[in-house]
Every structure is written in C-alpha cells, then in structure tokens.
Amino acid sequence: MLKVVNLTKRFGGLVAVNGVDFDVEQGEVVGLLGPNGSGKSTVMNLISGALPRTLGEIDFDGQRIDGKPPHRIAKLGLSRTFQLVRLTPSLKIRDNVILPLAFGAFPVFGSEAVKRADAALEQVGLAGRGDGPVQDLNYIDQKRLELARAIVTNPKMLLLDEWMAGLNPTELRTAMDLIAGLRDSGMTILLVEHIMEAVRALCPRCIVMSAGTKIADGPTETVLADADVIEAYLGK
C-alpha cells in the first residue's frame, strides 16, 4: 500500500529525516515511534505532501506520490490527522466533516454530503451532533470529529499523528476502540503514538526512529525490547 525509499528531509543544516526506508502492507496497522524530534511528524508531512522531500521516493497504492500536492495525494485515498487539532470553529460540527468531502476523490455536495458526513459522525460516536457548534465539543469529542474528517472520504490509508495524546484513561480506552474498529474494517494505518498501551494493543509491528534515522522495524514486542531502541528513548 505504501512504500518509502531513502526518504530524506533537510531543514537548512538539520537532517530531520535521513534515508528512511519502509513498507506498509494493505490492512496493516504499523506504529511509528521515536523520541521527540526524531522525525516522525516530518515523515507524516512528507508522505501526505504537506512538505516537499529533499530526496527519496514514496509510492502509494501503485502510484508515485512524492512531488504531488497534498490534495492530489488525499484524492488517491491517503488521509491524515495532525498532531495539533485542526478544526474550523466558525463552522458547525457537520460542516467540518463536509469540508474534506467537498474536496474528496469524487466531490460530494448537498444532501448526499450531509448523509455521508452524518454517517462518519455516527461511526466516531457523534451521532446527532452535526448541527451543534464545534465549541460544544470537549477534548475527546474534538478528537472524534478530527477522525470523522479523516475517514469521511473513505480513504485507503490513514496517517494518525499522536491522535491519542492528552486523553485521560477512560477517553484513551474509547479512542483505542475507535481505531480497533477501523482496523477490523480493514483500514491500513500508520500510527505515530507515544502511549505504549495503545501501541501494544493496536500495532503488531513498529518502526522506531531516532535522530532522523530508522533504528528498528519489526514485531512490536521484539522492537520494544531492542537495546538500541531502549537507548534511544533513555537518551544514552
């Protein structure tokens, strides 16, 4: 589904992502881990086209996507959430979900858009909330809305960047159940996440980055027991 080869991103003198290679197969849920500043969000931004790469190749669902603008990549079926919640507070809840739909692979408007948006809201546990203002949503519900926006276009793959950060234990359980539901429906997911409980429960396989480089890739329990991975997290 996704193939990344020699992916490299420089910001001036800083090499934020340095020759990273990995594949994600259709239907896999893969964790992307690493200490703060290791390059995880930059990888997400390069895959989704939010940032231009310096070097490397990215293929998604049989097509080369590096160099394409974000909306073209989204149209191919790659959807994402951002590390910081990005909702449009001036629009009501449903219209936040319609927004990506109007720019989706097959633009949808009018009553069909309302129907699709309400189905996505229902899927994330916000049934009947579409007419309310975004300001009414508590933190977990904002997270639900973000997820609804990401799935309303029926993507083939989701990139989730610390989507579960800041949730309390009860909310975390809810969030994990939502992702497990997507996984069980066959969604391919690349999950940047610091919460190990969530990684262990949702990701059979993990990739670990440190200082821009991939340092481990394999079964989650093996990777988390790896000496280089432990050292990267402890900061030597």
At its nearest, how many Å lie between ligand ADP and the CB of residue 189? 17
62 contacts: CB under 8 Å, gap ≥ 6? none
At its nearest, how many Å lie between Mg ion and the CB of residue 37? 8
Return the exposure string of 131-169: e unless at least 16 CB atoms fall within 10 Å of the residue's CB, then b.
eeebeebeebbbbbbbbbbbbbbebbbbbbbbbbeebee
Q: Near Mg ion by CB under 5 A, which window of 11-19, 36-44, 84-92, 115-123?
A: 36-44
Q: How many residues does the chain have?
A: 236
Q: Which does 39 bind (CB under 5 to 8 A by kind): Mg ion, ligand ADP, none?
A: ligand ADP
**Max CA-CA distance within the chain?**
57
CB 94 within 8 A of CB 140: no
Q: In this chain, which of 18, 38, 41, 79 binds Mg ion, going by CB under 5 A?
A: 41
- Of the pair 30, 152, the CB lying nearest ligand ADP is at 30
CB 149 within 8 A of CB 93: no
CA 12 to chain centre: 26
The pattern of x and - marking residues 3 through 42 that bind ligand ADP according to CB under 6 A reads --------x--x-x-----------------x-xxxxxxx
DSSP states of 46-73: HHTTSS--SEEEEEETTEE-TTS-HHHH
The pattern of x and - marking residues 38 through 67 that bind ligand ADP according to CB under 6 A reads xxxxx-------------------------
At its nearest, how many Å lie between ligand ADP and the CB of residue 127? 33
Structure-block tokens of residue 195? 């919460």
Q: Which does 210 bind (CB under 5 to 8 A by kind): ligand ADP, Mg ion, none?
A: none
At its nearest, how many Å lie between Mg ion and the CB of residue 40? 5
At its nearest, how many Å lie between ligand ADP and the CB of residue 46? 9
Number of amino acids touching ligand ADP (CB under 6 A) = 11
At its nearest, how many Å lie between ligand ADP and the CB of residue 8? 12
Q: Which does 48 bind (CB under 5 to 8 A by kind): Mg ion, ligand ADP, none?
A: none
Residue ranges binding Mg ion (CB under 5 A): 40-41, 83
Residue ranges binding ligand ADP (CB under 6 A): 11, 14, 16, 34, 36-42
